[in-house]
Amino acid sequence: MKTYRTFTDGIKYFSLDTVEYFKIVMMLNTAGGNYSKLLRREIELYHQMPKDMIKVAPTLIFSALPFALYFVLPLVYALPKQLLTSHFWTPEQREQFQIAYLKDRLLHNRQVFRHLQSQINFLKHDKKNKDLFEKWAKILGLIGSGIQPSIEEILACKELFMDEPYHLLYLSRNHIFHLLRMHSIHAGWFRRTRLADRAQILIEMDKAIMREGGVHNLPLKALSQACFIRGLNPTNVKPEDQIRWLTQWIRISNQIDKDSLSLLLHCPILLGYNEPSNWMLIYPKKSET
């Protein structure tokens, strides 16, 4: 009965979010894709619900068949992470699975960083951008030695992400693949377009946060969720440190336009590659030593 009640409550919450999602879609269609009237929570819902609907649809369809619920309930609660969404999870499961999903994303950080490093020779031989090469080489050196660069240093290299070698159009297939997985996007069709769309959604989330009073006014749960979405593990991180990190992210996001979306997509590396909470999640044994 407890499992059945949890499942039926999950259906109720999922249904409410589905209705709200389609209302948001209608609002965006009416407003010509303008997000300015949407709340941060609504943009996050718009970002997440398509994946949730695809994931849970087979379970809901099969459970509607006669007597199927008796077989569905034991199965889905044996594999809740694989077959259900957060609407059906307990608070403990929600925290556990969210961390597991983030860990899967963080495992691609090293490959993305290596692809950034692999293009340094392209810049080295570009005589026109000697100063830019030196600034970028310094940033990669800092990250490689365990130090995150400053916001000013990152923005000084924005031009590199507006053309060759780091614009989305110039990234290699393997680089694109790991960038997709780092942002929890499936590696199917229209890869570069979907990465650009993700960057635009992140920008709109950041604008909504500022419209609602800024990072300091976010509730603790919303603050942690914002960090998760952007690639920072907030577990055991003080709220003031989460605020600091998210503020840095938004400072960069405010400087991004349609030609420099690639820079924002690489911010989980530029801002979070050496964050201790991320490092502990990927390499727990090394962190303990």
Residues 77-133 pLDDT 10s:
888 888 899 999 988 899 999 999 999 999 999 999 999 999 888 777 666 677 888
Q: Tell me how many domains the chain contains.
A: 2
Amino acid found at 229? I
Residues 185-202 pLDDT 10s:
988 889 999 999 999 999
Give, in order, the Cα–Cα distances in Å from 194 to each of 179, 188, 200. 11, 10, 10
Same domain, residue pair 143 and 238: yes
Q: Please indicate, yes or no, if residue 95 is contained in any of the structural domains.
A: no
Closest CA to 87 of 113, 108, 116, 57: 57
Q: Select from 60, 89, 118 the last residue of a domain.
A: 89
Integer-rounded Cα Rg, in Å, for the chain is 21
- Which range of residues forms the domain containing residue 21? 2-89
Residues 159-218 pLDDT 10s:
999 998 899 999 999 999 999 999 999 888 899 999 999 999 999 999 999 999 999 999
Same domain, residue pair 118 and 252: yes
Same domain, residue pair 116 and 196: yes
Same domain, residue pair 145 and 281: yes
Residues 233-260 pLDDT 10s:
999 999 999 999 999 999 999 999 999 9
* 147 has a pLDDT exceeding 90: yes
Same domain, residue pair 37 and 158: no
pLDDT average, residue stretch 54-60: 89
Global pTM value: 0.91
Q: Please indicate, yes or no, if residue 179 is contained in any of the structural domains.
A: yes
- Under 8 Å between Cβ of 41 and 205: no
User: What is 131-188 written as a DSSP string?
Assistant: HHHHHHHHHHHHHHTT-PPPHHHHHTTGGGGSSTTTSGGGS-HHHHHHHHHHTT--S-
Same domain, residue pair 172 and 249: yes
